[in-house]
A and B are shown apart, each in its own frame.
Chain A
């Protein structure tokens, strides 16, 4: 059974259909990419799957369980994590604290115990600090661990979001344009990082504009156009599909 199944999913915003009858399935352990021209509905699709929006019709299943319309914080419990196209870093915190927030669900969140600083809470937090530093090393941010998030460059913040998402120990990770706004060297590094994440048994679903990166690392690719599924397949199949070429070049070939 596929890890994630999306079934006839649609989302209508006041008359505009942003996503229309999209179906696909993601198998465990893959790097699965969603591509399409601007406005194709890629981010909306992500927002639907990760609970930010409620689908108008259709179903989403994780591990065979329907999750359509489930709140984001409840999805986190089921092992879902994501990053954002427009950075959603907590600028009022340090880089390390941002990563620590990722581990939220693994911690004792009791208010009274926290106020009285039960020894267990303090010990666990100390351990978490080490784990978070390790994760920052994993995404290549070793030197930033003590920095305020607001003082970090854009490229580093993109990685920080990935580290935060990984801190949640997800089974499936959604990356919304992880390489957007990065130069080719940085993109290549993200490319490598995504591969590394997938090798650690995390299923990765990716929205990305950088075609070279997508073709390089994806096991399967879904192509959206005007909110509809255009095609789906391996990099080679997608590259050779005339509809895809037409959608990207704007004319039939």
Chain B
């Protein structure tokens, strides 16, 4: 009984960590630009697919991983420069369509380049499962969790202890005021897009040995990352992490105990339920309209 529960928990936290990374990506871009980037999931896909490609081409693991994270970051910068910046003052729906257009382009290009097949590569440190309380934990899961924890700590340090991080926070609070005190908000936008693309790619790179990847995994992963970001309350970093883990765990539990066919529906049922009772998510700020 307990072992089964643990098993679901392990797989839930592992996937949840990826959702958390994606949700952090949504949060970063949302804070810097008020845009919900529906192409976020494609960065997860890019990370996995590029890592696969570079490893297959014979590059050593660290270099392959580095490239698989750096290239999506570059794509993120291009996306901001070429598509988001020219449409800065557009309405919410318009921006949603632009980012969806971008995700189609990325997905389409990868499909042409690397085909429609599913791919994977070996886990970073073997696939000998670790036994804990009757459940098994893959070493790769430890990689996922460890790296996510590291990333979260690094982000926390970046935003609370460095000038660059504070500049981004200031911009998300009030762009005009930030510009007035001399913050280059243009630069802030680019960094935010690069950073969130890299976060997504890290998730993809880490998760692929466990779940496989293909050109079209981005949509669902991205949408669930969006769910996680909203569960936590859009714009809250802590919320994104908690939201990601929560969505991952509840999804795994529901798939295990209730119905695996509806696994993909669980996050969406969850988010409707949460929004019904908490219109701004778990950690979202309460705003009072001034009239």
**B288 and A85 within 8 A (CB):** no
| Separation of A52 and B290 alpha carbons in the complex (Å) | 10
A143 CB-CB contact with B under 8 Å: no
**A86 and B288 within 8 A (CB):** no
A88 CB-CB contact with B under 8 Å: yes
Please report the number of residue pairs spanning A and B whose Cβ atoms sit closer than 8 angstroms.
Answer: 10
Contacts of A47 in B (CB 8 A): 291
How far apart are A14's CB and chain B's nearest CB, in angstroms? 8
Contact with A along B273-290 (1 / 0, CB 8 A): 000000000000000111
| Separation of A85 and B288 alpha carbons in the complex (Å) | 16
| Separation of A85 and B291 alpha carbons in the complex (Å) | 7
A118 CB-CB contact with B under 8 Å: no
Of the candidates B289, B290, B291, the one having the most CB atoms from chain A within 10 angstroms of its own CB is B291
Nearest CB to that of B290 among chain A residues? A86
**B288 and A13 within 8 A (CB):** yes
A84 CB-CB contact with B under 8 Å: yes
| Separation of A52 and B288 alpha carbons in the complex (Å) | 10
| Separation of A195 and B229 alpha carbons in the complex (Å) | 53
| Separation of A43 and B288 alpha carbons in the complex (Å) | 13
| Separation of A159 and B289 alpha carbons in the complex (Å) | 23
| Separation of A13 and B291 alpha carbons in the complex (Å) | 15
Q: How many residues of A contact B (CB 8 A)?
A: 8
| Separation of A85 and B289 alpha carbons in the complex (Å) | 13
How far apart are A46's CB and chain B's nearest CB, in angstroms? 9
How far apart are A251's CB and chain B's nearest CB, in angstroms? 31
Contacts of B288 in A (CB 8 A): 13
Contact with B along A16-52 (1 / 0, CB 8 A): 0000000000000000000000000001000100001
How far apart are A39's CB and chain B's nearest CB, in angstroms? 13
| Separation of A86 and B290 alpha carbons in the complex (Å) | 8
Contacts of B289 in A (CB 8 A): 52
| Separation of A88 and B290 alpha carbons in the complex (Å) | 11
Which A residues between 45 and 103 are near B, CB-CB below 8 angstroms?
Answer: 47, 52, 84-86, 88
Nearest CB to that of B288 among chain A residues? A13
How far apart are B209's CB and chain A's nearest CB, in angstroms? 48
Contacts of A86 in B (CB 8 A): 290-291
| Separation of A84 and B290 alpha carbons in the complex (Å) | 10
Contacts of A84 in B (CB 8 A): 291
| Separation of A13 and B288 alpha carbons in the complex (Å) | 9
| Separation of A159 and B258 alpha carbons in the complex (Å) | 61
Contacts of A52 in B (CB 8 A): 289, 291
Contact with B along A225-237 (1 / 0, CB 8 A): 0000000000000
| Separation of A43 and B289 alpha carbons in the complex (Å) | 12
Contact with B along A150-188 (1 / 0, CB 8 A): 000000000000000000000000000000000000000
How far apart are B142's CB and chain A's nearest CB, in angstroms? 42
Contact with A along B250-291 (1 / 0, CB 8 A): 000000000000000000000000000000000000001111
- Top 7 nearest A-B pairs (CB, nearest first) are A84-B291, A86-B291, A52-B291, A88-B291, A86-B290, A47-B291, A13-B288
The residues of B with any CB-CB pair to A shorter than 8 Å are 288-291
Known: A13-B288, A52-B289; 8 extra A-B contacts, CB below 8 A, are A43-B291, A47-B291, A52-B291, A84-B291, A85-B291, A86-B290, A86-B291, A88-B291
10 contacts between A and B (CB under 8 A): A13-B288, A43-B291, A47-B291, A52-B289, A52-B291, A84-B291, A85-B291, A86-B290, A86-B291, A88-B291
